[in-house]
Amino acid sequence: MEFRYLGNSGLKISELTYGNWLTHGSQVENDTATACVRAALDVGISTFDTADVYANTQAEVVLGEALKGERRESLEIFTKVYGPTGPKGHNDTGLSRKHITESINGSLKRLQTDYVDLYQAHRYDVETPLEETMQAFADLVRQGKVLYIGVSEWNAQQLRDGAALAKELGIQLISNQPEYSLLWRVIEEEVVPASKELGISQIVWSPIAQGVLTGKYKKGQELPAGSRATDDKGGAGMISRWMRDDVLDAVAQLEPIAADIGLTQAQLSLAWVLHNDNVASAIIGASRPEQVESNAVAAGVALEADVVERIEGVFAGLAETDPTLTQMPTGREA
């Protein structure tokens, strides 16, 4: 496992982060989830990402149990705040001081830790003054409950505004967590240049496009039993946008490229994401421990320029690049 600095900070994280968005507390049983976390630790992954909204707080509970007994100083534990939790009342969502303060206390209890290494604004809150949000984050840093501040799916201007306020308050905004893969490249035109300017790294989610880039889904064939595309708890809805013949045709063309350099399609797709020098880590999820072990091979892989050119040529005209598609809520989801 290789490690990279997160933004303009001294914090190093593993090139692959283990995340439990669509799995812990919902898709897989707790014993399997714990086995996946153990597999992540065994391959050298030290960074774990979750959110209070995942499975309505249960994903944090499962991760906290799975990591219990590990040396806390050897881990980087990330969580997020914004989405509705609990009974989803009028103050159970957003980035107000009230919701942030109550959310971190709940997250720390569920994760069984005194602090999180990175606390992330899960989305931008258009209904709360940014000054209120950043001041609340700064207070948590000073209290020692949070070491660093990050965000998720913020556009370039929001990153600039947030970083400026963080600097005024004497704290660091060091990361953004956007979707990024061979099929979804909307951060490249505006978010990445702004992030480099500000000293912010990307921790990217869905680097293998919810499993589509693994090649498991074949045009004209039945969906594999037990795969995300057959999951009615959320997975199928997320993956449906990629289940098109033109996309599946392109994905099939990755197989010989990957084989030429001794990788699987999933490993190649992860290596391509990590080829972007503004990406500090790619988040992987798993429903089986062996998926973690296989994906870990992508860490430290250096792709030659001609290989990158071949890969990107396959998806020319298919990849989404419109920077305005960075996820932006119109209001709180209460």
Q: What per-residue confidence (pLDDT) applies to 95?
A: 97
Question: Is 54 one of the catalytic residues?
Answer: yes
Residues in the chain, pLDDT under 70: 22-28, 219-221, 223-238, 328-334
Residue 159 DSSP SS3:
helix
Distance CA 19, CA 21 (A): 6
Sketch the domain layout of the chain as residue ranges: 3-209+277-297
Q: What per-residue confidence (pLDDT) applies to 296?
A: 96
Q: Which of 18, 54, 82, 119 is catalytic?
A: 54
Distance CA 81, CA 104 (A): 8
Q: Specify the DSSP element, H or E, that contains 48.
A: strand 47-49
The yes/no answer on whether domain 3-209+277-297 falls in CATH 3.20.20.450 is no
Q: What per-residue confidence (pLDDT) applies to 330?
A: 53
**Partners of residue 48 on adjacent β-strands:** 18, 77
Q: What per-residue confidence (pLDDT) applies to 218?
A: 78
Q: What per-residue confidence (pLDDT) applies to 245?
A: 84
Q: What per-residue confidence (pLDDT) applies to 131?
A: 98
Q: What per-residue confidence (pLDDT) applies to 332?
A: 57
Q: What per-residue confidence (pLDDT) applies to 334?
A: 40
Between helix 97-111 and helix 130-143 the angle, nearest 10°, is 40
